[in-house]
Structure 1
Amino acid sequence: MTGKFHIGGKDFAQEPYVYRISGLDDVVLLNGFSREATDYGEGVAIENVDNLHRAIALHIVSTKKALNPREFRFLRREMEMTQNELSSALGVDGQTVARYEKGQTGITGPVDRLLRFLFVFNLLPKDMQAEVIERAREAIERDEVTEHSPSFIEEEGSWFEACA
């Protein structure tokens, strides 16, 4: 089950609301919504949908269980990425993401972990994302330029990389 969500400091509703419009079948709202009669039947208004979706996504990425296809799609949509954009970030074929989301292909452990990381990374401000990427690029370039095997020394029971 994805989870039950509520807004702190508010009374719980008499009857919880299963929030299926999220694309997930197992999100239950205990408050933060109101039922309203409309000309077309009962309608439901959700308070602060953006924060609700962020809370759902953070819950998904922080659980130990493997991502299911609906959770995979939910995270991609929350990052506002197309299937092709996500496939490029994951290093897989564009149709592979579609197959993950349809449950036609199993979501492998490395893809599961990378999608979780990408979601959390996506929460960082853009300037911070750029800084992290630049630092990683610099580290990669340093490793490509310095083609030496590291050597280590032991001092007082701890290991340290020896300076060249």
Structure 2
Amino acid sequence: MLAAGSAWRILEAEHVQLRQLLAAIDRVLSGGDAWKHGGPQLNLLRHRIRAFQDFEVGTHRPKGVVLLGSVRGRSAEADQLLDVLDHESQLCEQLLAQVLELLDKIEQGGGGEAGEVASLLNQHRELMLGQLDREDTALRSYTAQLLTSDEWSSVASSISREVQKARRRTPAKD
């Protein structure tokens, strides 16, 4: 199925990008203590977290809406996986919101929150990496089993529309 292969190539490429964004956050976190005291490194950490959020929520997630909706209700096992993925996604959003609040406190002169920031970001990274792995394996397997060629065409068309929207939002680079 050409549509299925095309859709998964796009999703997997985005999973690579999400992993790279997670690694960029981790590099700031593990690159020394400068971020713990405010200033440029804290701003860089905040920027990298927001870049991850923007890509995950604004670019990647919309592409899965039709795919996940097409799978939902087809099998109890697939529904259980979708429930887990949805729960983890919500938890990841909460973790990053907490981190950004703590970074604001650090910037205002608090320093005791740094350990909690690191812990929350590590939890987030582990949850996200697990989620991406499950999407690449279990979800891909369920979609291959449960979706027809016509459904894959609809999914691929939906993903293509989202790609076009993203291109219109992204300014051209000189």
| TM-score normalized with structure 1 length | 0.29
| TM-score normalized with structure 2 length | 0.28
Bigger relative contact order, structure 1 or 2, given CA contacts below 8 A and separation 6+?
2
Which protein has the bigger strand share? 1
